[in-house]
Structure 1
Amino acid sequence: MMSYIILGFLCVIPSICLSVLTDGETQNDTLRDESGDSKTDVFRQLLNQETLIRMSLVKNVHSLMKDMVEMKESMSTSNKRLNDAEKEISSLKNEVHLLKTENRKLKEQAVKFQEQFKTTDSRFDEIEGNFTKVSFSRAKYERHLNKKIEDFEKNMSTILNDIKIEVRYLSVTLLDLNKHTMEINESIPILIESKFTEYSTIVSKSVSDINNKLITSKDYQEQLVYNLSTLGNDQSGLMKIISDHMNSTIMSIKADVEQSQKSQLKLSAAVSSLEVFRMNMSLLNNCGAKSIGFTVGVTSSSSTWSGDILVFPHLVTNHGNGYNPSTGKFTAPKDGTYVFFVAVNSYGSQTVYLNIVHNGLNVVQSMAYGSSASHQTGTNMALIHLDKGDSVWISHSSGTGYYTTSVPITTFSGFLLA
């Protein structure tokens, strides 16, 4: 519709301009008036001007048509933009509605949070009071623990003195037993020689008496046969008595020697146990004095164990929580020089080797060597500098099995030096 109006306007403009230029009258080449040539010149000028005006108008019409096309395109683009703007406005309205809804919900939650915060304040006060009580209880427990450690150290000193006395007594007893064994070993040949000498003397005397009686009397020959028979029986009985006595003596000597060997093994085990006990006492004292230290063990034996890492699940002490009973590894909570000690008891007459390992590198090795005596003990200790995060554990080197009881015998300990 708009295009039709514009076209009509363009058609009207030339006719108006033409009527203005010709004064609304039709002009032709035969026009004549009184002025003659002067009028013809004016008319020609007017025609030239009209031609120029018409050409100018044609240019303007073309320019207007071009502007109209551009205007149509611009209006189409504007309509698209307007539609997009309307869609965007609709989307923004939806978002505004959602934001209003969310804002309302947030306001409701803020009200709830304010109410909860009032309740939380009272809970924080209660928690603060609980922390104060816990701190007080912890200080009280530390004092109680320090007192227990002091009492334990005093008791252990007394026990160590008693053990030392008993070890001295066992040493003296072992020396006496060795001396007695040597005396018995020396007396056995002398005793056998004296018995055979005595028996030979008796036999020689009996033979001499028999010869004398055979020479002096025939009647005695019959009696001699009887006496010889009796003598043979007596000789057999005497030999049996001597043999039994010698066997019993030898068995007694063997029993004394075996008892001596057992006593010696017991003494060696007692000395080893004493050394282990001393080391554990040292570890315990250092763990009580320091903030980082542990003593762990196993409470069930195994005759077939030959794994990689020996895990000690039983915690005796674990100050600083450096030892992990699940992995069997101690991780240093801070830099420092640490002391580590391992004690392993072999299962029966088996042999087992264990290593103290630092970050995958073997440091030292302990050996519980199998022999005729059961449950041999192997120990070792290492002084290692650790950086924070370094790990130390006990690994299997060779052999199988280990022995322990409900009170751990196979143990692993460590502590931070001052």
Structure 2
Amino acid sequence: MMSYIILGFLCVIPSTCLSILTDGETQNGTLPDESVDTKTDVFRQLLNQETLIRMSLVKNVHSLMKDMVEMKESMSTSNKRLHDAEKEISSLKNEVQLLKTENQKLKEEAVKFQDEFKSTDSKFDEIKENFTKVSQSQTQYERHMNEIFEEFEKNTSTILNDIKIEVRYLSVTLLDLNKHTMELNMSIPELIESRFTDFTANVNRSVGDINHKLLSSKDYQEQLVYNLSALGNDQSSLMKIISDNLNNTINSIKADVEQSQKSQLKLSAAVSSLEVFRMNMSLMNNCALKTSVGFTVGVTGSASTWAGNILVFPHVVTNDGNGYNPSTGKFTAPTDGTYVFFVTVNVYGGNFIYLDIVLNGSRKVRTMSHNTAEYMTGTNMAVLKLYTGNSIWVSRYRGTGYYSDSVPITTFSGFLL
């Protein structure tokens, strides 16, 4: 339709322009010769102008056609967008309807939840009453246990005093036995030496008498034989007496040594009993302390540039046994045992930080909060054997800054197994 309008417009334009050039009238007749050339020049100029006008009109018509085509394309695109918008509007209407339905369901569920919450309030009240009763019973039980423990301490102190007195008495007895044994050990060589000295003197005297008699009388041979026989008998009897005395002395020494050994065994048994009793007391003390050694501490503020050595956790959540010092950041073991320690650190922003759990200056385990992402968390746990007086703390290895909040995020915990 548009192309027909443009063709009609082109047909009308030349005739109109011709009418303008001829003043709208058709002129016939013959002009004079002088004016023919002038009119011819004017006519040529008019034709040239008409040609230029036609060319400009054709150019304008082509631009108009191009604009019309672009308008058609834009209208088709607009129609398509309008169709898509209508589809989106219809889908949004459906979603709104679904949301209304879900909202209605949520309202109904909220009403049900309120009813259930009202019913659970009474249950929570019952639970609170039960917890109150449990805490009261626990307090009474702890009081009773403290009384029993105090009475046990009194009894054990009395028993320990009795054992100490008995040990002292046994120690004195053992010293006396040792002194007597040493005296016996010193007297035996002297006794043997004195007996042999007497025997040697008797033999020498007998030999001297025999020599004297041999020199004084040659007929004394028979008497010499008799004397030698008597001397042999005397020597045998003397050796028997010496042997009997030595055996008696050795037997008495053995009896004294056995008695001292029995006394030493009694003393060793008493000492062993005392050591066993001390071990039992230590175990009981450990058992009494195990129920009350544990801590959880943290920091309640962030420090983006912290680069210290020991990380101090001033906020104390739990400190049973008072082993943790919030001023120094160190935990000191109140008793021997196996402990569990756990540290959690949240690095500040895009920083990185490494923290160590340190035992008496020796680094045991390490956390790593890397800077591959912001506010990275590093955790680690250690199970360590501690003796009374050992210290545990958290120390920085590398990096800077930590993040926390009013409810602690960066924390340090430990307890006795």
* Aligned CA distance change for structure 1 residues 331 and 73 (closer, same or farther; 3 Å): farther
2:170 is aligned to 170
Distance change (3 Å), C-alpha of 1:84 and 1:66:
same
Contact 1:334-1:389 at 8 Å conserved across structures: no
Q: Give 2:251's aligned residue.
A: 248
* Cα deviation digits, residues 339-373 of structure 1 (max 9, x gap): 75669xxxxxxxxxxxxx635389xxxxxxxxxxx
Query: In 2 relative to 1, CA 236–90 (structure 1 residues): closer, same or farther, beyond 3 Å?
Result: farther
Matched pairs, number: 306
**When the two structures are superposed, what TM-score results if normalisation uses the length of structure 2?**
0.51
Deviations for 1:282-314, whole angstroms, at most 9, x for unmatched residues? x95xxxxxxxxxx2xxxxxxxxxxxxxxxxxxx
The AA in structure 2 aligned to 1:321 is V
Equivalent residue number for residue 188 of structure 1: 188
8 A Cα contact 1:335 1:388, kept in partner = no
> How does the TM-score come out when normalised to structure 1?
0.51
Gaps of at least 5 residues in structure 2 are: 296-320, 338-358, 365-385, 396-414
Residue in 1 that maps onto 2:7: 11
- Which structure 2 residues correspond to residues 5-404 of structure 1 after superposition, within 5 A? 5-13=1-9, 18=15, 30=28, 58=58, 61-89=61-89, 91-93=91-93, 95-96=95-96, 98-100=98-100, 102-193=102-193, 195-196=195-196, 238=241, 241-242=244-245, 244-255=247-258, 258=261, 280=282, 284=285, 295=286, 315-322=287-294, 332-335=323-326, 338=332, 358=360, 360=362, 383=389
Residues 267-287 of structure 1: CA deviation (Å, up to 9, x unaligned): 77678778x679959x95xxx
Distance in structure 2 (CA, Å) of the matches to 1:229 and 1:180: 38
1:204 Cα shift?
8.5
Q: 1:129 deviation in Å?
A: 1.0
- CA change 1:239–1:194 in 2 (3 A) is closer
Looking at structure 1, the residues matched to 97 and 182 of structure 2 have their Cα atoms a distance apart, in angstroms, of 111
Identity rate of aligned residues, in percent?
A: 45
Q: 1:186-231 deviations in whole A, cap 9, x for unaligned?
A: 33234434555676688889999999xx999999999999988977
The separation in 1 between residues aligned to 2:143 and 2:335, in whole angstroms, is 28
Task: Provide closer, same or farther for how the CA distance between residues 190 and 320 of structure 1 changes in structure 2, counting only shifts above 3 A.
Answer: same
Q: Distance in 2 between matches of 1:31 and 1:96?
A: 86
Question: Unaligned stretches of 5+ in structure 1?
Answer: 285-294, 296-314, 324-329, 344-356, 363-379, 391-413
Letter in 2 for 1:145: M
- Please state whether the residue corresponding to 2:293 is helix, strand or coil: coil
SS in 2 for 1:320: coil
Q: Distance in 2 between matches of 1:381 and 1:279?
A: 17
- Asked if structure 2 preserves the Cα contact closer than 8 Å seen for 1:174 and 1:263, the reply is no
RMSD of the TM alignment (CA)? Answer: 5.7
1:175 and 1:361 map into 2 onto residues whose CA distance is 51
For residues 16 and 381 of structure 1, what CA distance do their matches in structure 2 show?
117
* Whole-angstrom CA distance in 2 between matches of 1:218 and 1:189: 40
Q: Are the equivalent residues in 2 in contact too, given 1:167–1:267 (CA < 8 A)?
A: yes
Q: Flag the 1:158–1:383 CA change in 2: closer, same or farther, 3 A.
A: same
